[in-house]
Amino acid sequence: MLLREVAYARPRTLEAAVRLLGEHEDARALAGGQSLTNAMKQRVGSPAVLVDLAELAELRRIDRAADGSLELGAMATYAQIVLSPEVSSTHPILAEVAHQIADVQVRNRGTIGGNVCWNDPTNHFPPLLAALEARMTITGPNGEREVGYDEFFVGVFMTAAGPGELLTKITVPAPGACGSAFASVPIGKDGTCIVNAAACVDGGAPRIAIGCVAGVPERATGMEQALAGGDLSPERVREAARGLGQALDPPSDVHASAEYRRHLAEVLAVRATLQAAGRAA
């Protein structure tokens, strides 16, 4: 397909990338391109300038910080996350979820930064990073700033990384004795999620986040509070999830009605929480 005309820049430094993104109105950062290229084909997005991040090797790093947290460069691909010993040693849930995205070819190109910056409500990583309470580092003309996931995700296809800014790093706190799990009902194996849920259990109240039901991942705060005592028996967890769906206002589409999504939100929140509890034990 012939795309709309677009100008191209391949900066060699992060500073140059940020400068280019700020200089041009309607410039767009290109990471793995697995969402952006398709949006350009559909004419949903037609940036004037593509700022290709391919040369910025530092954005592909996966590092361990001194406090034990995991630092994922925004350009780390799904395939890289699946195979990373650093990820598997403390946060295997990230590899498990990366492995469920699309297919081999897409995982070889798609990046975690692209996944969260695109913030398609059906994406896998926003709810997972909400349950893991990740923090995002955004680099702009005035340097770096760090925001929590709750500030980062703003709405459908919208994040706190504004024009002239770039998401550079995602920091996932050290897990402690945490067990994490992800549950979804996708359209076909490894397809787009109809509803998904992530849970993280580490002794105190579990952290539970639901995806695909709003413009941003929704923390199931009522369910979390009901489980604060630490009893995560199947009966208690099912009881705590009751009514969760009614508090949500998910969309209806060709794949599922809003009512069915409310039902799935409860089912998947229970599945993810019980599996996370099993892994924490």
For binding to other proteins (CB under 8 A), which residues are involved? Answer: 1-8, 10, 30, 33-34, 37-38, 41, 50, 52, 54, 79, 102-106, 108-109, 189-190
In terms of CB distance, is 101 or 117 closer to other proteins? 101
- Smallest separation, CB 77 to other proteins (Å): 9
Given a contact cutoff of 8 angstroms between Cβ atoms, the answer to whether 13 and 56 are in contact is yes
- Smallest separation, CB 96 to other proteins (Å): 14
In terms of CB distance, is 37 or 88 closer to other proteins? 37
Closest CA to 121 of 29, 193, 229: 193
- Smallest separation, CB 36 to other proteins (Å): 9
Given a contact cutoff of 8 angstroms between Cβ atoms, the answer to whether 72 and 62 are in contact is yes
The Cα–Cα gap between 132 and 113 comes to 16
Amino acid at 17: A
In terms of CB distance, is 1 or 254 closer to other proteins? 1
Q: What angle do CA 139, 141, 145 make, to 5 degrees?
A: 35
In terms of CB distance, is 25 or 144 closer to other proteins? 25
- Smallest separation, CB 109 to other proteins (Å): 6
The Cα–Cα gap between 52 and 94 comes to 25
Closest CA to 33 of 108, 143, 144, 141: 108
Given a contact cutoff of 8 angstroms between Cβ atoms, the answer to whether 91 and 11 are in contact is no
Phi/psi at 109 (5° precision) = -115, -40
In terms of CB distance, is 3 or 65 closer to other proteins? 3
258-280 and 234-241 helices, crossing angle to 10°: 150
- Smallest separation, CB 80 to other proteins (Å): 11
- Smallest separation, CB 263 to other proteins (Å): 28
The Cα–Cα gap between 232 and 179 comes to 12
- Smallest separation, CB 79 to other proteins (Å): 8
Closest CA to 128 of 238, 20, 272: 272
In terms of CB distance, is 8 or 85 closer to other proteins? 8
In terms of CB distance, is 79 or 199 closer to other proteins? 79
